[in-house]
Amino acid sequence: MNHLRGIYTIWYRDILRFWQDKVRIIGSIVFPLLFLFVFGSGLSNKIGSSFGPGIDFTQFIFPGIIGMMVLMGSLMAGISLVWDREFGFLKEVLVAPVSRTSVAIGKTLGSATTALFQGVLILLLAPLIDISLSLGTILALIPLLFLLAISMGSFGVLLATRIKSMQAFPVVMQMLVYPMVFLSGVFFPVEGLPTWMNVLVKLNPATYGIAPIRQIVLADGPNSPFSISVLEHTMSLWDNIAVITAFGIVMTLLAVWSFDHQE
């Protein structure tokens, strides 16, 4: 019972901090709008309609933007752990009668929940770009977004346990987040790339988190021009989910282990 209470307390604290930060909430809406209506609209005519019948560039990147915001929101939430260490709150938590595993899981769930909320906010923009989402599609997307958020949130917690400096964490995050985003298929199809880039895309775990989101939102079939092939095998929806799930399990176990060995 103490284990669950500890997880809930840490989770609730992160949710409360997010809810009270109105600038952060507004930013989670404005930032994707810039991509969709400035970047997307600006390049849509230049790129054309090579993404399948009835799918323009803005509609193509829409699922990617959802995944990008979930990915960035969950990864960057790890900065709160570094912040807590800098200001002594983490030390108080570690000496409290709460297991360190509870703290690590609570932090991961907190970052995943706030990132999921940001992703759901972007889903509400779908009618603005002529994408119709049924209730069944939304219900299928929510656990998928949460899975991506958990996977990347645990990765962020793992990094936060290893990075001691408040100044170093954003730098390291930027070096990781932007390559992960740009090499995950958010802005372009992942097939037909140069060999070196194709290898990086297939090694990027975020690729397998973005792909199923696009498959569900755009009703993407196996013969789609932007499907993923690994070792000449076309990845299905469940193949991609299996990869991101395996990554999430490994990252969660490593995050818990690393947090248990905090000084």
Dump pLDDT digits (tens) for 172-196: 777 888 888 888 888 877 777 788 8
Mean pLDDT of 15-44: 76
Going by their DSSP bridges, the two strands 229-230 and 233-234 should be labelled as: antiparallel
Question: Which pLDDT score, from 0 to 100, does residue 146 have?
Answer: 93
Question: Which pLDDT score, from 0 to 100, does residue 151 have?
Answer: 92
Give me the percent of the chain exceeding a pLDDT of 90: 10
Mean pLDDT of the chain: 79
Q: Which of 130, 142, 116 is nearest to 58 (CA)?
A: 130
pLDDT of 251 higher than 80: yes
Beta bridge partner(s), residue 263: none
Beta bridge partner(s), residue 234: 229
Question: Which pLDDT score, from 0 to 100, does residue 52 have?
Answer: 59
Reduced to 3 states (helix: H, G, I; strand: E, B; else coil), residue 174 is helix
Question: Which pLDDT score, from 0 to 100, does residue 59 have?
Answer: 78
**Contact predicate 180/204, CB 8 Å:** yes
Question: Which pLDDT score, from 0 to 100, does residue 128 have?
Answer: 78
Mean pLDDT of 201-214: 89
Range of the domain at 118: 2-260
Banded model confidence at residue 64, pLDDT cuts 50, 70, 90:
confident
Question: Which pLDDT score, from 0 to 100, does residue 93 have?
Answer: 62
CA–CA distance, 83 with 122 (Å, rounded to integer): 28
Please report which helix (H) or strand (E) contains residue 233, including its range.
strand 233-234
Mean pLDDT of 123-143: 83
CA–CA distance, 126 with 124 (Å, rounded to integer): 6
Banded model confidence at residue 144, pLDDT cuts 50, 70, 90:
very high
Please report which helix (H) or strand (E) contains residue 229, including its range.
strand 229-230
Question: Which pLDDT score, from 0 to 100, does residue 147 have?
Answer: 93
pLDDT of 253 higher than 80: yes
pLDDT of 81 higher than 90: no
Mean pLDDT of 199-212: 89
CA–CA distance, 231 with 106 (Å, rounded to integer): 37
Question: Which pLDDT score, from 0 to 100, does residue 43 have?
Answer: 62
pLDDT of 41 higher than 80: no
CA–CA distance, 15 with 34 (Å, rounded to integer): 25
Q: Note every long-range contact of 201-205, with CB atoms under 8 Å and residues 24 or more positions apart, other chains counting.
A: 202/228, 202/230, 204/179, 204/180, 205/151, 205/180, 205/243, 205/244, 205/247
CB contact burial 226-244 (16+ within 10 A = b; e otherwise): bbbeeeeeebeeeebbebb
Helix axes 100-123, 237-260, angle to 10 degrees: 140
Mean pLDDT of 71-96: 70
Number of separate domains in the chain: 1
Please report which helix (H) or strand (E) contains residue 32, including its range.
helix 22-34
Mean pLDDT of 18-37: 78
